[in-house]
C-alpha cells in the first residue's frame, strides 16, 4: 500500500545468534551489526553485497555494542570481556588497539569525532573516556544513582550523545536521566604548557586559587 514511500530489501541471514544492534551508515552505504557469537561478532556489509565484500570480525565472547566514525575511520566495540576494541573497518584479522580498564561488562559506548574520544559505560555505572588516537584512558567517572546506592538498570541503549547546541552525554536508566557536559576542543586550546615532561603530582591551594 505504501510502497511508493517505503521499500525494504531483505539482507538474508547475517548472524548465527540474535544481534542486539544494527546501524546503517549512509555515507558508506553499508550496514554494521553485532552479536554475542564468537564466529560473527561484528559484520560490516554493503546494502548490495555485490558491490563490496562483507567483513566479518571475530571476538571470543562476542560484541554487545559498537559505534562507527567516518572521520576517524574506526569501529569501536565493547562487550562482556570488559575490553574496548578499536578496529579498522577493513581489517578483520586483529584490532588496532585493545583498551582495558573496565571491571564489568560494557553496555554501551559512543564516539565523539570532534574530540577524537570514545566514551564507554559498564553495567556497574563506571564511565570511561578514551583518546582514540593515543589509545589511553583520559578520565574515569563512577556514576552514582541519585535514588540510592543500587546498581542502575539500563535498557538496550543507555547512551545518547548530544553535540549541539551544548555538547553533552545523556545516561539513562530505569528511573533516572543523567546529563554529563563535555568540554569542547575550544576550551582546551587556551591551556598553557607548564612543564616539559609529564606531571606526577599536583595540588590546589583554595586560599590563593593556585595550582
Q: Please, which pLDDT band fits residue 192 given cuts at 50, 70 and 90?
A: low
Phi, psi dihedral angles at 188 (to 5 degrees): -85, -20
On the question of pLDDT at 189 being above 50, the answer is: no
Average pLDDT over residues 118-122: 95
| Structural domain count, the chain | 1
**Domain of residue 73, residue span:** 21-151
pTM higher than 0.85 for the full model? no
Q: Please, which pLDDT band fits residue 187 given cuts at 50, 70 and 90?
A: very low
- Please state, rounded to an integer, the average pLDDT across all residues of the chain: 84
For residue 209, being part of any structural domain is answered with no
- Let me know: does 10 contact 49? Beta carbons within 8 Å: no
For residue 188, being part of any structural domain is answered with no
For residue 103, being part of any structural domain is answered with yes
For residue 6, being part of any structural domain is answered with no
On the question of pLDDT at 173 being above 50, the answer is: yes
Q: How far apart are the two ends of the chain, measured CA to CA in Å?
A: 68
pLDDT at site 4: 74
pLDDT at site 148: 63
Q: What is the pLDDT of residues 127-149, one digit of tens each?
A: 999 999 999 999 999 887 666 66
Q: What is the pLDDT of residues 37-46, one digit of tens each?
A: 999 999 999 8
Average pLDDT over residues 89-113: 95
Q: Which helix (H) or strand (E) holds 188?
A: helix 185-188
For residue 145, being part of any structural domain is answered with yes
For residue 86, being part of any structural domain is answered with yes
- For the domain that residue 81 is a member of, what is the CATH number? 2.130.10.10
For residue 194, being part of any structural domain is answered with no
Q: Give Cβ neighbours of residue 180 (< 8 Å, ≥ 6 apart).
A: 127, 141, 168, 169, 170, 171
Higher per-residue pLDDT: 14 or 187: 14
Percent of the chain whose predicted confidence (pLDDT) is above 70: 87
pLDDT at site 186: 43
- Let me know: does 84 contact 130? Beta carbons within 8 Å: yes
Residue showing cell 588497539: 97
For residue 34, being part of any structural domain is answered with yes
Q: How far apart are CA 2 and CA 208, in angstroms?
A: 69
pLDDT at site 7: 73
Amino acid at each position: 500500500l505504501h510502497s511508493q514511500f517505503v521499500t525494504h530489501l531483505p539482507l538474508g541471514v547475517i548472524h548465527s545468534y540474535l544481534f542486539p544492534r544494527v546501524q546503517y551508515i549512509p555515507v558508506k552505504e553499508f550496514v554494521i551489526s553485532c552479536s554475542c557469537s564468537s564466529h560473527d561478532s561484528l559484520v560490516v556489509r554493503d546494502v548490495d553485497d555485490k558491490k563490496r565484500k562483507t567483513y566479518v570480525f571475530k571476538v571470543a565472547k562476542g560484541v554487545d555494542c559498537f559505534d562507527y566514525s567516518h572521520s576517524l575511520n574506526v569501529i569501536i566495540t565493547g562487550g562482556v570481556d570488559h575490553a574496548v576494541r578499536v578496529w579498522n573497518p577493513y581489517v578483520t584479522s586483529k584490532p588496532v588497539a585493545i583498551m582495558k580498564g573496565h571491571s564489568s561488562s560494557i553496555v554501551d559506548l559512543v564516539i565523539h569525532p570532534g574530540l577524537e574520544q570514545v566514551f564507554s559505560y559498564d553495567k556497574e555505572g563506571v564511565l570511561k573516556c578514551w583518546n582514540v588516537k593515543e589509545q589511553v584512558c583520559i578520565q574515569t567517572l563512577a556514576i552514582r544513582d541519585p535514588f540510592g546506592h543500587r546498581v542502575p538498570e539500563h535498557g538496550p541503549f543507555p547512551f545518547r550523545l548530544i553535540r549541539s547546541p551544548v555538547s553533552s552525554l545523556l545516561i539513562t536508566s530505569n528511573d533516572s536521566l543523567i546529563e554529563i557536559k563535555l568540554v569542547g576542543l575550544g576550551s582546551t586550546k587556551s591551556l598553557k604548557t607548564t612543564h616539559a615532561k609529564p606531571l606526577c603530582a599536583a595540588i590546589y591551594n583554595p586560599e590563593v586559587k593556585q595550582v
